[in-house]
Structure 1
Amino acid sequence: MFKLVKVKSVVRIPPEKFGRPLEEVSREELRREYEGVLTTNAGLIITILDVKVSEYGRIIHGDGATYHDVEFTALAYDPFLKEVVEGEVLTVTDSGLFIDLGPIDGFIYIGQVSDEKVEYDASRQALLLRNRKVIIDRGDNVRARIYSIGLQPGKGLRIQLTMRQVGLGKIEEE
């Protein structure tokens, strides 16, 4: 789920950026500090939107920068268990599917693709669902449900998906 989060913080403006518009520099510094960061309260910060920065700053002894109170809105992606998501198949392997969920990729183990027999076709790099004669290729759109969310050290969020429920699976073009 995507959400907007209001944040109050302090932004450090380095001396080499003095003379430039304060709001522009604040946005740059906030993006550098927050974008791509996984937080416990908001989830994965995608981008910084509205920035309101105090024109009055503080100077800390030994640091030539100024510190300004700031309020901003951040767009965050915060997935939750049992959430139904849609995405494009990025990669098909013999162990499953990598799905583009927007800001992050999810993974569907081959055993979670369908209740029926699923085979990997190495020549096509696709998964074959034998009973229904469905082929899942790179570029296909699928609907899945999140069943596990975890942290991978050094890699960030790890989202595991399933398509083994009614209404989930390959989205057929109409």
Structure 2
Amino acid sequence: MYKKMKLADTIRVAPNLLGGDVEQNVKAALKEKLEGRIDKNIGAIVAVTKIDTIGEGHILVGDGAVYYDVKFDSIVFVPTIQEVIEGEIVETVDFGAFVSIGAMDGLLHVSQITDDFMSYDGKNGRLTSKTGGRSLSEGDKIRTRIVAVSINEREPRESKIGLTMRQHSLGKMEWLEEARRPKSDQEE
């Protein structure tokens, strides 16, 4: 889920950025420091949108930079357990599919795709069901539910988001559309 948050931080503005507009330089330093960072309590910081207040600058002995206490607005992505979210499959592997769900990727394990047994077709790069004639491949749009979240601040690539499609109204968008059509339309 995307949220707008008011945050506060102390930001270092390097000496080469001290000329010109202070607010513009502070915003540039904030974007460089925070955008793309993952925090366990906040989530993934997607964008710094607006500076609210900039405190008085402080200079530390031996450092030519100026440090400012800043309050600002930002957009963050917070994966929440039980949240239903739409995404796109970015990679299929023998144990499941990686799904882009916004600012992060989640793992849809093969056991969480359908009730039918799914196997990996490495030659075509897709997951196929044994009896249902269904498949998932890169680029497919899906609706899924977040069932597990483990955020690793130090190594964001090690963060894990578990997904499932084994519940009502979840699955590949084409499957959901087929289920929504009346039976007479499906027979044609």
- Relative to the length of structure 2, the TM-score reads 0.84
The equivalent residue for 1:36 is 36
Whole-Å separation in 2 of the counterparts to 1:125 and 1:61:
57
SS in structure 2 opposite 1:167?
A: coil
The equivalent residue for 1:167 is 169
What does the per-residue CA deviation read over 1:131-174, in whole Å, with 9 as the maximum and x for residues that have no partner?
33212121111111111111356224211111111111111186
Whole-Å separation in 1 of the counterparts to 2:105 and 2:111:
18
Q: In the alignment, is the contact (CA less than 8 A) between 2:53 and 2:71 conserved in 1?
A: yes
Higher alpha-carbon deviation: 137-146 or 34-43:
34-43
What does the per-residue CA deviation read over 1:85-108, in whole Å, with 9 as the maximum and x for residues that have no partner?
111111111111111112111111
Q: Which amino acid aligns with 1:134?
A: R
Whole-Å separation in 2 of the counterparts to 1:2 and 1:41:
14
Q: In the alignment, is the contact (CA less than 8 A) between 2:55 and 2:70 conserved in 1?
A: no
Q: Equivalent pairs: percent with the same residue?
A: 32
The equivalent residue for 2:88 is 88
How far did 1:67 drift? 2.1
How far did 1:54 drift? 3.0
Whole-Å separation in 2 of the counterparts to 1:132 and 1:149:
30
How far did 1:53 drift? 4.4
SS in structure 1 opposite 2:174?
A: coil
Q: In the alignment, is the contact (CA less than 8 A) between 2:87 and 2:143 conserved in 1?
A: yes
The equivalent residue for 1:8 is 8
Whole-Å separation in 1 of the counterparts to 2:19 and 2:160:
42
Whole-Å separation in 2 of the counterparts to 1:18 and 1:46:
26
How far did 1:68 drift? 2.2
Whole-Å separation in 1 of the counterparts to 2:158 and 2:93:
21
Q: In the alignment, is the contact (CA less than 8 A) between 1:53 and 1:68 conserved in 2?
A: no
What does the per-residue CA deviation read over 1:7-64, in whole Å, with 9 as the maximum and x for residues that have no partner?
1232222211111211111111111221122223311111111013437422223222
- Give the count of matched residue pairs: 174
Whole-Å separation in 2 of the counterparts to 1:26 and 1:53:
11
Unaligned runs of at least 5 residues, structure 1: none
Unaligned runs of at least 5 residues, structure 2: 178-188
Q: Which amino acid aligns with 1:54?
A: I
Which is richer in strand?
A: 1
Q: In the alignment, is the contact (CA less than 8 A) between 1:23 and 1:53 conserved in 2?
A: no
SS in structure 2 opposite 1:136?
A: strand
Higher alpha-carbon deviation: 160-169 or 53-62:
53-62
Which is richer in helix?
A: 2
SS in structure 2 opposite 1:7?
A: strand
